[in-house]
């Protein structure tokens, strides 16, 4: 990229920034150190996606390149803007840059921020293990972000080797009876005297739906809001052990924003630069309507429709999840009905490549 640029248009505060008319001038001096800080200097928001107003603003200002940075929602938003730009016949390139700690964007190998989040989560797991190890029948319960995809939890578990149970949104679990979570905790404490559980904030939705308050509440982007499942699970585990008159010392660590708010690590810094450069090169070369990112290790321009057609999720009948089960020894909780449903979902009608989109073990 050239060195004498002056980027005057970045809109502040996500999509709503397009019509709020707040912009900031980005110069090399302004952005020089931003990779050493967490968060974003251009702000973020949920909701506020009025396509028509956004494209009006793009048109009024004579913008000819639009770059969006964010997760699967952001890519969907960019795709809709791209369609409207095409409909109006404007000469404007739209490029998406995949940034989310959830790693839930399909097709690409991983999203920017994911590696940093996995690394940071290791520190929490370590703290949970130390706390749990120090006390009789200690259980460290760590909650990490992600409502619908358990990649962060799976990779954290595989990397740390201290995790005894990993609960992800894709794999429904149950508490009571044979093969249930309570039985496993009892067994693990008997064997080891302590244990660490990692959970996503989107797990156990079916169990939580019993609590009516959390139903139909949505955030500004339309994502379903969930009750704090970590506090709920902590209480259920404590109640179970109290009923059985067994000693239990549970330490609950809720890490949600601690993971997302930190500066990116070295590998993500390099990756981010590549994504940014490739996005600019794509737009300059005349491409539009794409998300940039590596596919099986090769950087590619992927049409929006491929990115928005589904969400990247862990295949609970796949090899990678099997590795987690083998390394933790936790019950799989999977029933034959779950397997049939996964098989149905994983039967792609229009494969992109063989081993499409890293859901299985070809990519990460």
Ligand X SMILES: O=P(O)(O)OC[C@H]1O[C@](O)(COP(=O)(O)O)[C@@H](O)[C@@H]1O
Ligand Y SMILES: Nc1ncnc2c1ncn2[C@@H]1O[C@H](COP(=O)(O)OP(=O)(O)O)[C@@H](O)[C@H]1O
The residue sitting closest to ligand Y, measured at its beta carbon, is: 73
| Least gap, CB of 294 to ligand Y (angstroms) | 19
| Least gap, CB of 71 to ligand X (angstroms) | 4
Contacts to ligand Y by CB under 6 A:
14-15, 45-49, 70-74, 76-77, 80, 100, 221, 223
Q: Which of 79, 132, 145, 314 binds ligand X (CB under 6 A)?
A: 145
77 binds, among ligand Y, ligand X, none (CB under 5 to 8 A by kind): ligand Y
List all residues 6 or more positions away from 249 whose beta carbon is below 8 Å from its beta carbon: 132, 135, 136, 137, 138, 139
| Least gap, CB of 76 to ligand Y (angstroms) | 4
Work out whether 113 is an interface residue with ligand X (CB under 6 A).
yes
Q: Which of 260, 306, 313, 320 binds ligand X (CB under 6 A)?
A: 260
169 binds, among ligand Y, ligand X, none (CB under 5 to 8 A by kind): none
Hey, how many other C-beta atoms are within 10 angstroms of the C-beta on 138?
23
Distance CA 97, CA 86 (A): 20
| Least gap, CB of 310 to ligand Y (angstroms) | 13
Of the two residues 14 and 138, which places its CB atom closer to ligand Y in the complex?
14
76 binds, among ligand Y, ligand X, none (CB under 5 to 8 A by kind): ligand Y
Examine the residue annotation and report whether 102 is marked as an active-site residue of this protein: yes
Of the two residues 49 and 240, which places its CB atom closer to ligand Y in the complex?
49
The 3 state secondary structure assigned to the chain is: CCCCCCECCCECCHHHHHHHCCECCECHHHHCCHHHCCCCCCCCCCCCCCHHHHHHHHHHHCCCEEEEEECHHHHHHHHHHHHHHHHHCCCCEEEEEEECCCCCCCCCCCCECHHHHHHHHHHHHHHHHHHHHCCCCEEEEEEECCCCCCHHHHHHHHHHCCCCEEECCCCCCCCCCCCCHHHHHHHHHHHHCEEEEEEECCCCHHHHCCCHHHCCCECCCCCECCCCHHHHHHHHHHHHHHHCCCCCEEEEEECHHHHHCCCCCHHHHHHHHHHHHHHHHHHHCCCCCEEEEEECCEEEEEEHHHHHCCCCCCCCCCHHHHHHHHHHCCCCCCCHHHHHHHHHHCCCCCCCCCCHHHCCCCCC
| Least gap, CB of 21 to ligand Y (angstroms) | 17
The residue sitting closest to ligand X, measured at its beta carbon, is: 100
Of the two residues 126 and 223, which places its CB atom closer to ligand Y in the complex?
223
Work out whether 146 is an interface residue with ligand X (CB under 6 A).
yes
113 binds, among ligand Y, ligand X, none (CB under 5 to 8 A by kind): ligand X
Q: Is the alpha carbon torsion for 40, 42, 46, 49 positive or negative?
A: negative
Work out whether 14 is an interface residue with ligand X (CB under 6 A).
no
Instruction: Decide if 206 contacts 232 (C-beta within 8 A).
Output: no
The strand pairing partners of 70, in sequence order, are 98
Annotated catalytic residue, options 50, 60, 102, 162: 102
Question: Segment contacting ligand X (CB under 6 A): 97-105, 122-130, 165-173, 184-192?
Answer: 97-105
Binding mask 215-254 for ligand X (x = CB under 6 A): ----x-----------------------------------
48 binds, among ligand X, ligand Y, none (CB under 5 to 8 A by kind): ligand Y
248 binds, among ligand X, ligand Y, none (CB under 5 to 8 A by kind): none
Binding mask 262-291 for ligand X (x = CB under 6 A): ------------------------------
The footprint of ligand X (CB under 6 A) covers 46, 71, 100-102, 113, 145-147, 201, 219, 260
Which positions are catalytic? 102
């Amino acid at each position: 990229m050239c060195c004498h640029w002056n980027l005057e248009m970045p809109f502040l505060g996500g999509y709503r920034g397009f019509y709020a008319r707040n912009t900031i001038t980005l110069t090399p001096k302004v952005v020089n150190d931003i990779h050493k800080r967490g968060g974003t200097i251009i702000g973020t928001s949920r909701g506020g996606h009025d396509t028509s107003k956004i494209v009006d603003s793009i048109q009024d200002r004579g913008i000819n390149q639009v770059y969006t940075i964010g997760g699967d929602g952001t890519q969907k938003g960019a795709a809709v803007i791209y369609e409207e730009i095409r409909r109006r016949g404007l000469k404007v390139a739209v490029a998406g840059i995949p940034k989310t700690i959830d790693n839930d964007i399909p097709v690409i190998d991983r999203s920017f921020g994911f590696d940093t989040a996995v690394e940071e989560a290791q520190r929490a797991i370590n703290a949970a293990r130390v706390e749990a190890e120090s006390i009789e029948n200690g259980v460290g319960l760590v909650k990490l972000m992600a409502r619908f995809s358990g990649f962060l939890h799976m990779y954290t578990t595989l990397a740390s080797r201290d995790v005894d149970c990993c609960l992800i949104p894709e794999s429904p679990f149950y508490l009571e009876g044979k093969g249930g979570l309570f039985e496993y905790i009892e067994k693990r404490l008997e064997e080891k005297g302590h244990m660490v559980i990692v959970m996503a904030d989107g797990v156990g939705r079916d169990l939580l739906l019993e609590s009516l308050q959390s139903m139909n509440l949505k955030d500004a982007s339309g994502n379903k809001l969930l009750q704090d499942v970590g506090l709920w699970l902590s209480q259920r585990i404590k109640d179970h052990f109290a009923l059985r008159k067994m000693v239990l010392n549970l330490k609950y660590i809720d890490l949600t924003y601690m993971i997302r708010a930190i500066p990116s690590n070295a590998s993500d810094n390099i990756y981010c630069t590549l994504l940014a450069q490739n996005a600019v090169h794509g737009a300059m070369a005349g491409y539009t309507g794409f998300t940039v990112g590596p596919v099986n290790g090769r950087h590619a321009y992927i049409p929006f429709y491929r990115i928005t057609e589904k969400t990247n999720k862990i295949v609970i009948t796949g090899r990678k999840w099997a590795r987690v089960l083998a390394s933790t020894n936790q019950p799989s909780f999977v029933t034959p009905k779950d397997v049939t449903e996964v098989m149905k979902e994983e039967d792609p009608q229009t494969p992109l490549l063989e081993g499409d989109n890293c859901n299985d073990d070809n990519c990460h």
